[in-house]
Amino acid sequence: MPGDKTGHKKHTKTTDAQKENASTLIATKLRGYYESIVEEGTPDHFLDLLERLDEAERKHKAK
C-alpha cells in the first residue's frame, strides 16, 4: 500500500460502523427522493392517458 508523507501505510479497511453509516445515509437519501416524488403527484396529462387506456381496454373486452 502506498505510504503517506510520514512513510506510514494508509488504513483502507472499511469498518462495520462505516458501512452502517453509509447504508443509513443512502437509505435517508432514497427516502427523501421517494417522498419528493410522491409529493409531486401524478401529472394531469398522465392521468388522462391512463383513463383513455382503460376506456380502450373496456371497449376491446366488450366486443
Exposure string (b/e) for 16-40, b if CB count within 10 Å is 16 or more? eeeeeeeeeeeeeeeeeeeeeeeee
pLDDT at 19: 93
Q: What is the pTM of this model?
A: 0.48
pLDDT at 11: 62
Residue 55 confidence (pLDDT) above 60: yes
* Chain segment 14-51, per-residue pLDDT in tens: 899 999 999 999 999 999 999 999 999 899 999 999 99
Per-residue pLDDT, averaged over 1-24, amounts to 76
